[in-house]
Chains A and B, each alone.
Chain A
Amino acid sequence: MADITVDIDTPQLDAISRRLEPSARAELHREIAAEISETVRGHLRRYALTHHATASRLGARPTGNLEDARVDAASDSSGATVTVAALGIRRALGPLEIRPRNKSALTIPVAAIAYGRTVAYLRNSGIDVFRPKGKNYLATTEGKGKEAKVVPLYILAKRATLKHEPDLLPTREALAANALEAARDYIMEGAA
């Protein structure tokens, strides 16, 4: 699964939670889960708007992977969990090595037409995709006769490492601070 969970429990949150009856604790955790999920959702939206380096470099349409990321909140009397599901989201926590699944190599797009499309998809679309002899990439041909030229589509690789992107998610400290604020509001609302 391409999802992550970040533990943001703090002594202050723990102290607030422990003082409550189970039903109130469940409500508190629900408020915290809602706050964190909204914080993460907003962060991913803003991040997605400005991080399309690969698509921009290739002149391709972004896939919208982050834009479409699913953020789910769950909670009960024992705690709150916010899950973020998006391919590559784990690079928020550190470098992410990817390896081919069910194939002998990764196909890394280097042309706009290949971005967000598999080799099989291009072939089914009528595009000839081949591996030039002795080369470590897949290509197609543009033009005909003497003007025909080989255009690289994908580089083949046994593995690739996505660099750590700590800004992909809010910091743990920011999330903990938001959670604490939600907890304090919940307590104050109950005391009012």
Chain B
Amino acid sequence: MTAKELAEKLHEIARAGTLAAARHLAPELQPLVDAYNAGEINLAELRERAADVFAANEARIDFIVKTQRRMAQSLGQLAAQTPGQVARYPAWRLVRGGTRMVPRNDWLRRWVAAGSATGWQGACRDDFVALKSSPIWAALGQGAGGFKDAIGNPFPPFAFGSGMTWERVSRAECDALGLVEEEADNG
């Protein structure tokens, strides 16, 4: 797969993800989430106004809003992938994106389960790094290994309430990690 083809594939994931994301969110919260995403209101105001229109406690409101917001972040990131970005940064590393009062400590198990389920194609066994084309990302999102809190997307957040995200990994680091890409077709 060429860099251009992979970038297009990532765009397709973003398009499909956008439709799926729209189904997750309670529609009555959408205007408030949009305002929060745009930085027009803060979380305190969102909680107050959401409580007026959505019969749920703070924990549930936060849960929906933050999940939706993080999905939007990932979708924007995927949609912005270019052939140049894919060529210079062929992989992602799973990293912590936000602090948690009680963080999950099972990401190694999740990674190993997802890697085992996909034959470690394009993925490192001893680092949370995998090529952007690796099927491990979809397996992680599907909860490989029996994790029932998986959201079902091949992009962060991979589990409900998760603060994990991904960051790009340079070609030089991929080479050092021994991650091998499929031969590119330059035709």
Contacts and interface: CB of A to CB of B under 8 A. Distances in A.
Contact of B39 (A1, A62, A63, A186): A1
Contacts of A173: none
Contacts, number: 115
B87 A189 contact: yes
Taking residues whose C-beta sits less than 8 angstroms from the other chain, chain A's interface range is 35 or more
A30 B43 CA distance: 32
Interface of B: 37-45, 47-48, 51, 58, 66, 69-70, 72-73, 76-77, 80-85, 87-89, 95-99, 101, 163, 165, 167-168
Interface of A: 1-3, 30-31, 33-35, 37-38, 41-42, 45, 48-49, 52, 61-65, 67-73, 85-87, 89, 116-118, 120-121, 124-125, 182, 185-186, 189
B82 A48 contact: no
Given A116-B44, A116-B47, A118-B45, 15 more contacts: A1-B39, A33-B80, A34-B80, A35-B85, A45-B95, A49-B97, A63-B44, A65-B43, A68-B66, A69-B39, A70-B39, A70-B69, A86-B39, A116-B42, A118-B44
A25 to B, nearest CB: 14
Residue among B58, B82, B89 with the highest chain A CB neighbour number at 10 A: B82
A180 to B, nearest CB: 13
B89 to A, nearest CB: 7
Contact of B84 (A2, A118, A182): A182
Given A30-B82, A38-B89, A118-B48, A89 B163 contact: no
A189 B48 contact: no
Nearest to A109: B44
Contacts of B77: 37-38, 41
A35 B73 CA distance: 16
Given A33-B80, A65-B42, A118-B48, A38 B85 contact: yes
Contacts of A71: 73, 76
A42 B84 contact: no
A34 B81 contact: yes
A89 B39 contact: yes
